[in-house]
Amino acid sequence: MKKKLRCYFCLNDKNLYSNILCNSCFKNLEKLKWIYCSRCGNENCFGCDQLNEFNNINCIFSYSSGLPEILVLAKDKNDYNAKLLFYDLFFKIIKNNILKILLENEYDYIVFPTLRKERILESNWHPTEFFESIFKSIQSENGALKYKIIRPILLNKSLKQALIPSKKRSAFLNDLKNQKIFFDKNKIENLDKINNSKILLLDDVLTTGKTSSNNKKMIAEYFHSDKWDLLTIFRSIQKSKA
């Protein structure tokens, strides 16, 4: 018996946009795309007064209307359909936004986000893998773009996990537990330094911005830059302090 397809959100089996999403839910999610602003992506957004160290903040979607649920299912629950839905909804749009920004700004360095150690050890998927696939696609189609990617130590090691035989994986994970999660200072020090370099930091969700600010402080120890930009997939609206 052929399995009947239905929308992952509303369970409707009519007018499907894809195998896991109906046209109605897709249109609602499409409306979440933000209009670019030099500060926070939306003139009604609060919280960016704490992020003055960034020249530009690019947020593509607001973090609402079912998006948190998709991300939690994909990251924390390893939900296969949620991962498919994430790529189905966001890959093309985010890739096009990132490519546009790369062409306009000609960044020298792209800084991938750090992740909690527990996130990497307990989940088979996280948004940094999503960024990896986007930049791999961009580079294959736009070889003239020149930039270097700075990745966290733990991410570099976790990406190799799938290649390790199951008998040795337990020891590998124990080794990961003892690894620092942040950036490899030796590798950063060995990078060719560019005076007044342009740097773009990435993250999946921007809330208070503390994680991105901390990453910027670490990288700033090794690079002199007058242009620090931030790009996130989602923006969680912060309440006004007034």
Tally of domains within the chain: 1
Paired tokens of 99: 């490519």
Q: Contact, 154 vs 117, CB < 8 A? A: yes
Say if 3 falls within a structural domain.
no
pLDDT of residue 30: 58
pLDDT band at 189 (very low <50, low <70, confident <90, very high): low
Calculate mean pLDDT across residues 90-100: 91
Amino acid residing at 74: A
pLDDT of residue 55: 86
Q: Produce one character per residue of 98-121: b if its CB has 16 or more CB atoms within 10 Å, e if not.
A: bbebbeebebbbbbbbbbebebbe
pLDDT of residue 13: 80
Say if 229 falls within a structural domain.
yes
Say if 30 falls within a structural domain.
no
Is the pTM higher than 0.85? Answer: no
- Residues linked to residue 235 through DSSP beta bridges, in sequence order: 62, 206
pLDDT of residue 162: 45
- Quickly tell me which residue has 């926070």 as its tokens: 40
Say if 82 falls within a structural domain.
yes
Calculate mean pLDDT across residues 123-144: 86
- pLDDT 10s digits, 230-242: 998 888 766 555 4
Say if 187 falls within a structural domain.
yes
Which range, of 21-30, 84-93, 161-170, 188-197, averages the lowest pLDDT? 161-170
pLDDT band at 122 (very low <50, low <70, confident <90, very high): low
pLDDT at 153 over 80: no
- Quickly tell me which residue has 């957004």 as its tokens: 45
Closest Cα to residue 54, out of 188, 211, 185?
211
Instruction: List the domain range (segments joined by +) for residue 85.
Output: 40-235
Say if 152 falls within a structural domain.
yes
Strand, coil or helix: 17: strand
Say if 25 falls within a structural domain.
no
CATH of the domain at 57: 3.40.50
pLDDT of residue 221: 82
- Average pLDDT value for the chain: 74
Residue 160 CB contacts under 8 Å (≥ 6 apart), including other chains: none
Paired tokens of 64: 């609402």
d(CA 226, CA 70): 36
Q: Is 38 exposed, middle or buried (0-12, 13-18, 19+ CB in 10 A)?
A: exposed
Say if 8 falls within a structural domain.
no
